[in-house]
Structure 1
Amino acid sequence: MGNALGPAAPRAPRRGGALGNPGSFDELHRQCKEVFPQQMEGVKLIVNKALSSHFQVTHTVHMSTLGASNYHFNATFVGDRQLGPTEAFPTLVGDMDNSGSLNAQVLHLLAERLRTKAVFQFDGEYRGDDCTATLTLGNPDLLGESVILVAHFLQSVTSRLVLGGEMVYHRRPGEEGAILTLAGKYTAPKWVATLNVGYGGAHASYYHRANEQVQVGVELEANTRLQDTTFAFGYQLNLPQANVVFRGSWTATGASGGCWRRSCPRCPSPWLWAPSSTTGRTASTAASASSWAEGRRLPPVLLREPPCRRGTGRRPPPGGPGLGSLAAGGRRAAALGKPSG
């Protein structure tokens, strides 16, 4: 007898098409955080100068009445290999302040899927078609027997759902511990929901894009060790015809803040004005202005405007968000305190 069922039907393609790479672990909440303004006190002047299509220098002067005024000189070099608008390799970044403190980092693409980063620690990242794996070795001290090890992994389960986790291991004489954090992110056409849950607490965020002009974000962070919970609501209004972007925020403590940005593209040397204010338990006002050369031959990675978003204690690396800053993992390990055992 022949096969009554006939030949097997070809397998249907996976619904939703290619899954795509989920990105870096530290960028899970990026869309929500970019809605919030970044408050500051005093006056800040940022001057960017493009010396060539690969090299740029930045002068930053911050004058404040509450804290110490400071000056920063930053130099950035990007190579010829550009994978996207904000990713170019190799990238060398150096920053020095008026006290002589120097910070430097190097980002390099070893292979098509393998990236490395060196900045007082070593980062290695592998990006597959539907997954990302990152390993960070921070502050290794063989004589003192201390080390911080951070491992990240993200997997695209569907075209909209991303699951993964973070493992932070910290060891030094007399202390040893580890923290495991699970993460999930769901992306819809107009909104994104992200959740991180671990031994130390939880971090949830929700981003919604109402239309081309209005975006909102909500963040909720709970720390079980400190018995503290914070809630924040942010929004962004875009007025493209007026070259104006306004970001505002409100927290559960009653503090509110705003940041108003207006660019002047018709000026001989384009300017960006970003005054901000904060009210609540503490009140402050600030104004910053930035000027940068047109740099028509510069790659977009060197032409990004200074960020005006709610700070988390650190700015994104000037070399672009390709690797993401993994210093947060070191801070999580430092927060371990006593051994978890």
Structure 2
Amino acid sequence: MASAPPTPPLVTPAPPTNQPADIDDNKVPQDSGDSGRNPGTFEDIHKKTRDVFPNPFEGARLVVNKGLSNHFQINHSLTLSSLQQSCYKFGATYVGTKQISPNEAFPVLLGDIEPSSGNVNANIIHQFTDNIRTKFVTQIQNKKWAISQLANDIRGYNYTATVTIGNPDLMTESGVLVAHYLQNITKNLDMGAEWIYQRSPNVPGGQMGVVSVGGRYVRGPWTFSGNLTLFSLSESSIHGCFHRKLNESLQIAGEIESNQRTKECTATIGYQVDLPQAHLTFRGQIDSNYQVGAVFEKKLPPLPFTFQMSGWANHVKQTFRFGLGLMIG
């Protein structure tokens, strides 16, 4: 293993905004009296905490969703921003007829394109059997094949094993290989590990490996999760999270990250307020770097409109961002 190698650029692109609600690609196990249950994937052990934190945006955003049939949906999105290039995207989603559960059907094909630049994002998800699920992700940016990733999940009765290959290139003998495994130990505890191997001429020594071990403990409304990542024998990072559902309307979450390589430690506290009768959701967070963010979301029935308002502030650098969004459909 190379000394103090850079963190590998693991491919984790965000899916297009037109992903339908009936796709549940990242299930999180619930506290159950049955000690045998599928725990989900290792990369999602912190999912409950991350779902509470807001995702602030800047500028103006308009999203229009239109369902053409029970299986096909199109999407138009317009973004106006002073921090990034303003753009229009057209997206489409197809959901197949293979019904796995009341909320899941396969295959799923979804993607979007920027007509002005030609940038394309595409995802293909299919569950071939009850235990095998495959996902292919690709991105084309600036007329170049930027990302290609193939992941395969094997979901057993009480475990999930995943192998992912990212950006393989036989000509330069480069690419990223990720393998992770998560095992249900008891009705409350899941444990697992992850191994990342990268081979590239740009990496010191030509190759590097990163090992991470972690777990999740669920007890009633409480969820605790953590993982330890080893970059080398002398460098590591620790990531810990907790989530607590206080009642049907309020959730709180916390996260702490300590990286020995960068000599940084950040703590974040977040909360989510849901008021179903008012059709309102509010998420907010504050961290130890004096950064504050919040997203307000209000549905406007009987119209199929959702209004969004976002704010973010860094009180150390004195930078502020504000955003407004409207989703139709």
The question of a shared fold, defined as TM-score above 0.5 by the shorter chain, is answered with yes
Which amino acid counterpart does residue 249 of structure 1 have in structure 2?
Q
Q: Is 2:96 aligned against 1:79? A: yes
Which residue in 1 is equivalent to 2:212? 181
Q: Is 2:134 aligned against 1:116? A: yes
Which amino acid counterpart does residue 73 of structure 1 have in structure 2?
F
Which residue in 2 is equivalent to 1:256? 292
Query: Secondary structure at 2:97's aligned position in 1?
Result: strand
Question: Contact 2:35 / 2:185 at 8 angstroms: preserved in 1?
Answer: no
Q: Is 2:19 aligned against 1:19? A: no
Misfit runs of 4+, over 4 Å: none
Which residue in 2 is equivalent to 1:103? 121
**C-alpha displacement of 1:85:** 5.5
Query: Secondary structure at 1:32's aligned position in 2?
Result: helix
Q: 1:154 to 1:91 in 2, by over 3 A?
A: same
Which residue in 2 is equivalent to 1:3? none
More strand by share: 2
Larger RCO: 1 or 2 (CA < 8 Å, sep 6+): 1
Q: Within 2, Cα distance between the matches of 1:29 and 1:84?
A: 24
Which amino acid counterpart does residue 65 of structure 1 have in structure 2?
S
What root-mean-square deviation, in Å, do the aligned CA atoms of Structure 1 and Structure 2 show? 1.5
Which residue in 2 is equivalent to 1:266? 302
Query: Secondary structure at 1:283's aligned position in 2?
Result: strand
Which residue in 2 is equivalent to 1:142? 170
Q: Within 1, Cα distance between the matches of 2:246 and 2:110?
A: 37
Query: Secondary structure at 1:265's aligned position in 2?
Result: coil
- Structure 2 segments unaligned to the other structure (5+ residues): 1-31, 138-147, 231-235
Query: Secondary structure at 2:252's aligned position in 1?
Result: strand
Which residue in 2 is equivalent to 1:133? 161
Q: Within 1, Cα distance between the matches of 2:211 and 2:69?
A: 45
Which amino acid counterpart does residue 178 of structure 2 have in structure 1?
V
For 1:74-97, what per-residue CA distance to the aligned partner results, in whole angstroms no more than 9, with x for missing partners? 111110123246532101112112
Query: Which runs of structure 2 are paired with 1:1-341 in the superposition (5 Å)?
Result: 16-84=33-101, 86-97=103-114, 98-119=116-137, 120-173=148-201, 174-199=205-230, 200-267=236-303, 270-281=304-315, 282-292=319-329
Q: Within 1, Cα distance between the matches of 2:38 and 2:260?
A: 32
Q: Percentage identity across aligned positions?
A: 38
Which amino acid counterpart does residue 257 of structure 2 have in structure 1?
E
Q: Within 2, Cα distance between the matches of 1:129 and 1:108?
A: 19
Q: Within 2, Cα distance between the matches of 1:42 and 1:83?
A: 39
Which residue in 1 is equivalent to 2:18? none
Q: Within 1, Cα distance between the matches of 2:226 and 2:321?
A: 32
**C-alpha displacement of 1:41:** 1.0
For 1:195-246, what per-residue CA distance to the aligned partner results, in whole angstroms no more than 9, with x for missing partners? 0111141111100011111100001112222121111110111111111111
Which amino acid counterpart does residue 162 of structure 1 have in structure 2?
D
Larger radius of gyration, structure 1 or 2?
1
Question: Contact 2:35 / 2:184 at 8 angstroms: preserved in 1?
Answer: no
Q: Within 1, Cα distance between the matches of 2:294 and 2:65?
A: 24
Query: Secondary structure at 2:52's aligned position in 1?
Result: coil
Q: Within 2, Cα distance between the matches of 1:58 and 1:238?
A: 26
Which residue in 2 is equivalent to 1:319? none
**C-alpha displacement of 1:52:** 0.8
For 1:111-153, what per-residue CA distance to the aligned partner results, in whole angstroms no more than 9, with x for missing partners? 2201111221221110001000000111111221112110010
Larger mean CA deviation between 113-122 and 55-64 belongs to 113-122
Q: Within 2, Cα distance between the matches of 1:85 and 1:274?
A: 29
Q: 1:255 to 1:27 in 2, by over 3 A?
A: same
**C-alpha displacement of 1:265:** 2.3
Larger mean CA deviation between 139-148 and 189-198 belongs to 139-148
Which amino acid counterpart does residue 45 of structure 1 have in structure 2?
L
| Aligned length in residues | 276
Query: Secondary structure at 1:275's aligned position in 2?
Result: strand
TM-score by length of 2: 0.81
Q: Within 2, Cα distance between the matches of 1:67 and 1:106?
A: 27
Q: Within 1, Cα distance between the matches of 2:274 and 2:218?
A: 22
Which amino acid counterpart does residue 160 of structure 2 have in structure 1?
T
TM-score by length of 1: 0.78
